Amino acid sequence: DAKTTQPPSMDCAEGRAANLPCNHSTISGNEYVYWYRQIHSQGPQYIIHGLKNNETNEMASLIITEDRKSSTLILPHATLRDTAVYYCIVRVNQAGTALIFGKGTTLSVSS
């Protein structure tokens, strides 16, 4: 079973920041938070992951609360191409452990 809770859908205006929340209140100390996205009819694309510190890369920022029970993925300047299903996944960083996908959040970016 997925260990995360995400809103089913969100809307965002092009050029604005998209803030996607994720609740993972039962996360264990050795579990990482991963974010992937899936554009329609494509394979999932890795975005970012973190353990407890905030992380930033060229795609997005990941903000993890101090108690690690929730996190927020931030797309600083959303574009139409960011329209996709975004999945928040918690997983131990261990060889052979698969990513288990929940229902994700469908982000719709409009002009």
User: Exactly one of 87, 90, 105, 109 binds another protein (CB under 8 A); which one?
Assistant: 87
Residue bearing tokens 């929340």: 21
Instruction: Specify the stretch interacting with another protein by CB under 8 A; choose among 10-18, 45-53, 63-71, 72-80.
Output: 45-53
- Indicate the SS3 state at residue 27: coil
Token pair in block for residue 70: 């929730």
Using CB atoms within 10 Å of the CB of residue 108, give its burial: 0 to 12 exposed, 13 to 18 middle, 19+ buried: middle
**43 contributes a contact to another protein by CB under 8 A:** yes
Which residues in 46-75 contact another protein (CB under 8 A)?
Answer: 46, 49
CA angle 24, 40, 32 (to 5 degrees): 25
**101 contributes a contact to another protein by CB under 8 A:** yes
Residues that bind another protein (CB under 8 A): 36, 38, 41-46, 49, 87, 93-104
